[in-house]
Amino acid sequence: DQQVKQNSPSLSVQEGRISILNCDYTNSMFDYFLWYKKYPAEGPTFLISISSIKDKNEDGRFTVFLNKSAKHLSLHIVPSQPGDSAVYFCAASAPLKTSYDKVIFGPGTSLSVIP
């Protein structure tokens, strides 16, 4: 049972345009969401996060939107750059010290930014 879903395994975007990566989750206990970027044979790098009490968080070119009622979040990258080409993982976490205190990852979306 996949609790964090990223239904697009890959995405190609022209340099300078907006990249939109989507993520859906099923467990209503999740209250904190994270996006990670990963290059092959390396550990994931934290990009941006959002708490369930917010619906938007922005950091430079990266913005994450959360629609709690739809259990959906998205990562927007504007403008997209070739260096953004990587696999992006959406992750979800439940409150600390609860029985579901863990970070669960989606399957990832491979983003290719075309120069």
Partner 1 sequence: GAVVSQHPSWVICKSGTSVKIECRSLDFQATTMFWYRQFPKQSLMLMATSNEGSKATYEQGVEKDKFLINHASLTLSTLTVTSAHPEDSSFYICSARGSMNTEAFFGQGTRLTVV
Q: Of 59, 57, 61, 76, which Cα lies nearest the Cα of 11?
A: 76
From 13, 63, 108, 111, residue interacting with partner 1 (rule: CB under 8 A): 108
Q: Specify the stretch interacting with partner 1 by CB under 8 A; choose among 22-30, 55-63, 74-82, 86-94.
A: 86-94
Task: Check if the beta carbon of residue 55 is closer than 8 Å to that of residue 68.
Answer: yes
Nearest distance in Å: CB 17, partner 1: 26
| Residue 9 or 16 having the CB closest to partner 1 | 9
Contact letters (x/-) for partner 1, 40-79, by CB under 8 A? -xxxxxx--x-x----------------------------
Q: Is residue 27 a contact residue for partner 1 (CB under 8 A)? A: no
Closest CA to 73 of 104, 49, 100, 94: 49
CA distances from 39 to 3, 7, 29, 106 (A): 23, 20, 29, 16
Q: Would you call the peptide bond into 79 cis, given omega within 30 degrees of 0 as the criterion?
A: yes
Amino acid at 64: V
Closer residue to partner 1 (CB): 65 or 100: 100
Site residues for partner 1 per CB under 8 A: 32, 34, 36, 41-46, 49, 51, 89, 91, 93, 96, 101-108
